[in-house]
Structure 1
């Protein structure tokens, strides 16, 4: 059995290598592999280094090298799968992919970084994403662009066809030392530029540009897409008691589930879903960063700035 599994793994590696070879020439593959090694090292630094300045400097170098790497011909076909500190999600229609990652601050908060790479045979077409979160007052009512981005780390992209095609993305948002956020984001391209937010989430008497969840940092929240049912399903979040109703940082799953179901190009809110026929595991393709290693600081934890 061990021999068969090893043979299968080797066979898959060979097939993958051949697939890339058909798209990327040897010189480009050599360059991309070199850049990937640098990105891997820098990524480990901006996640694990105890020094705030060292993390930020590593991140700035990471951005520069990533852009250099993506300028290499056929870079869109290179998976960068050794760079574990970045989440790379490709649209199912192969039109674009999104790099997204975070850098932790000493106070327990996060700043997000990202880029959208368009699949084009010509010169690199890349949109940098600038985290504008602190200046966004009402995230569920705000439309933004790549320079005013509601930063997140996306792990799922769902294409929606129709008269106004767009994409829905599921992402980990992080927040601060008390709570975590996740987001259901809408992405469209207008005049060939990315636009974040679209009033396609209809529920509880309100249409939202995006859906934002907030819950206690020590809790885990299910947020995943069920393709066979065209359904985004998530834990219902509730306070531990009535006194905490206005404190979302205390919320956690209450063992019931809600969702958004796609119908005629919109996502309609579904209450109290029957989960007996739906997998109940956490998102398989994404590990919540707060559950992995994060920078350990010897400095006192600071209160989040208002």
Structure 2
């Protein structure tokens, strides 16, 4: 008898989690789920074509059709619950931990080595109807990468990690780590901040400490030699964003990003409301790991310590 009671109690958390997951899935009816699966297959074909075709005009045409089909699929009731797993190679779907929105981003490569970024923010709705905030990549017209922007003049990137920053009584904001590409000489990565003002998306926030007594920055952009790989990741154990320190591999090329590479040292941003505090000389203490080449993150930050403080 006692064994049966203990067995039941041990299964309760598992059953609760399973029920919670199933309850979320049941918001999508079988008919709508079938519709989304069919749409996903079609979307995968168009998405792959935007990458494999060699002509830029054809690439844009396939992408235009892809966007129309994606919006059509998202109009399916409760599509917010559908993961679109088969699109993961070409698109990023990042859902906020509080399940209030997800941000969908992808890039379009061109033959000259440049990129254009596409994206949208899908908001969760009680009735399952579609509510989107389309993102317009306006990078070519942004002369100052420290500007606070909106969805209309987005500093485009393909985001691969989302980190919520919360504080009691304050509106949360979200840190996004993204790959930005650039041209045939350099690549870029970005630490972006997303917040919301009513139904408007706001990108950038004065939270990044650079130096003591210096003005904070609204976003952080890294630019480095295209042949180089760069780590930019979040370590939950120490609540810190960690990244390679970049330096020119030839001393006389200071300021020329095409010559900047990782110098085997690491810096970071410690996350603490209301700002992120810059930390120099943090060290990775784990083995390298192979991650998605698109993001060029061959090392995974798990255990960190500051040099001289251990």
Return the TM-score normalized by structure 1.
Answer: 0.85
Deviation at 1:96, TM superposition (A): 0.8
Helix, strand or coil at the partner of 1:288: helix
Pick from 84, 92, 106 the counterpart of residue 111 of structure 2.
106
Matched, 1:196 2:203: yes
Matched, 1:65 2:74: no
Matched, 1:220 2:229: yes
Counterpart-to-counterpart distance in 2, 1:289 and 1:274: 20
In structure 2, the partner of 1:152 is 157
Aligned residues: 274
Matched, 1:236 2:251: no
Deviation at 1:192, TM superposition (A): 2.5
Q: Which structure has the higher relative contact order (CA within 8 Å, separation 6+)?
A: 1
Q: Is the 8 A contact 1:161 1:265 kept in 2?
A: no
Pick from 120, 138, 141 the counterpart of residue 135 of structure 1.
141
Please list, as runs of the form range in 1=range in 2, the aligned pairs for 1:241-280 lying within 5 A after superposition: 241-276=250-285, 280=288
Task: Note closer, same or farther for the CA distance 1:287–1:113 as it changes in structure 2 (3 Å cut).
Answer: same
Please list, as runs of the form range in 1=range in 2, the aligned pairs for 1:26-41 lying within 5 A after superposition: 26-41=30-45
> Is the radius of gyration larger for structure 1 or structure 2?
2
Counterpart-to-counterpart distance in 2, 1:101 and 1:54: 17
Superposed CA deviations along residues 193-226 of structure 1, whole A, max 9, x for unmatched, are 1100000111133411100000011111000001
Alpha-carbon RMSD: 2.1
Following TM superposition, the consecutive aligned residue runs of length 4 or more in structure 1 with deviations greater than 3 angstroms are 14-21, 278-282
Helix, strand or coil at the partner of 2:282: coil
Q: Which moved more, 1:202-211 or 1:125-134?
A: 202-211
Counterpart-to-counterpart distance in 2, 1:17 and 1:51: 43
In structure 1, the partner of 2:216 is 207
Return the TM-score normalized by structure 2.
Answer: 0.84
Q: Is the 8 A contact 2:25 2:81 kept in 1?
A: no
Counterpart-to-counterpart distance in 2, 1:21 and 1:148: 35
Deviation at 1:23, TM superposition (A): 2.7
Unaligned runs of 5+ in 1: 1-13, 292-306
Pick from 36, 40, 53 the counterpart of residue 49 of structure 1.
53
Counterpart-to-counterpart distance in 1, 2:270 and 2:288: 17
Q: Is the 8 A contact 2:250 2:259 kept in 1?
A: no
Unaligned runs of 5+ in 2: 1-17, 298-310
